[in-house]
Structure 1
């Protein structure tokens, strides 16, 4: 698989990473055995960047990835770049969250993640969400201390504004910024993508398939009760009906080229800029293999422009999160 650099001077990773969140929570029932097989297949396909967080499954996701690493031994570990995050504090069974960016919490969260992952060092450690009451310089200072102690290889930020990124980068190099970015979530084009390119920071795009809505495989009537998309504004009512028209047009574009919706959506991201690294998540090997095939697919300037127009931000109905999901997200 093609490779891209994780920050200026950072390690090379696969052009596509794997988002592991759905293996533990938010997208209906999961199966650890199936997830382990999918993780193994990802390595076989050349995927090297594996993304998790302490809040996914309230620790389950990190523990799952830790078991996978342990089973493969040192050789497997050497193939993987492991990214995890701190900052979101939740109670079991609740979507609502509070944000903790205090240095004491950062240190404790890092130690807990290291234990669950079974690692001596986290390759990429993100501040998952921002508490505006804690200066970003203080947050990054605590993260830089973890780098100096050998517990973290590189630091990242998630869902931050351009001013926050610049202030953070002045304290310690920021290897990656992770934010939602896809055909129907274009906010990073407002300046964050350009700022990352200027600073040598990789841009890691989560939910690159619009939480699977862009794939045209989601039947909202069949979503499990614990699937958070049941409460996502873009998946409900008139917004859903409107957005399905956009996805149908995407389907026609993809079919005419012998591709799937997902492959077009991922190719669009990969052709946007060389520092963009999408991390589509899946529990299924068949979807994983299809997604991986998008790496290296070229789209012409005319094709990119057509897709840009189809998914003009003004044409997409509904917010990308329910209000509770915007906690710690820097908008604007």
Structure 2
């Protein structure tokens, strides 16, 4: 990864505003697009092969199955497991999950995450059978979860891709570089003190203190790095930088080939880990963790250098493209979800998310 630039203000003025405060102009714009294109759920037609277009309530495993078929060498192996509706044998459940992992060629550590969810909800690194059993015990009964091979690369990025129907090729609109926050021990300060003293973490301690509650009084050795967040999600504490200027023709060509091999995929974001930025620019040595559809966001807007006007402008352009693609696909015969079906999917996701294990 390019070195993280820490000069200047570590946060933008709006970076951790409430969703309502930040998104209200974008929501009004989306309402106008619904009227203009005569379709409240038109975005669900943006990716006809994804459940609900990937807007809300979509299955990660169903979309990863499509990605695996399109680019098996670029997708991190995974297995989906359904938790019993009335679990009564914790040991047996953990053994069955481990057997499913083994059958899929997975071993510890693995990344565990809900099949249904967004913004890093419920994502954890599971290192051994004990952590596996604890994760399962804290997961909602009757829900599906995904175990995925842990990709040890430190570098992670969000690659936002769009191809408008009728065009032969697509383009990368946004590249977000994701940096995981660290503090470094001095041999004297507790982890709590290190977090509170950090120029960035100390301004958003609510993102880090709860997840490290069990070791806040621990004193790391001098120079010892302590990673504060595992999930590559901005809302969970990762640091985002705009890397769109680093996109190359070779990188665009590779992601375009993968996207076109996924049936009826026109709009969304690849979340990837990679070995080296130069190799990613060459379209090589990267692993896809997830493919997000119509509900994906151009996350470069959370770069601390972006102004509020720039961030909202970019997201409005994203929504304009989303609705235009949805309309083009509707004209091709893809209707998307009905309002009732969309409402049920949204309600199920919102009902499950609060019950997922805390993200670490």
The TM tier, using the shorter chain, reads under 0.3
- Highest RCO, 1 vs 2 (Cα 8 Å, sep ≥ 6): 2
State TM-score, norm by structure 2: 0.24
- Return the index of the structure with the highest Cα Rg: 2
Q: Name the TM-score, length of structure 1 as normaliser.
A: 0.25
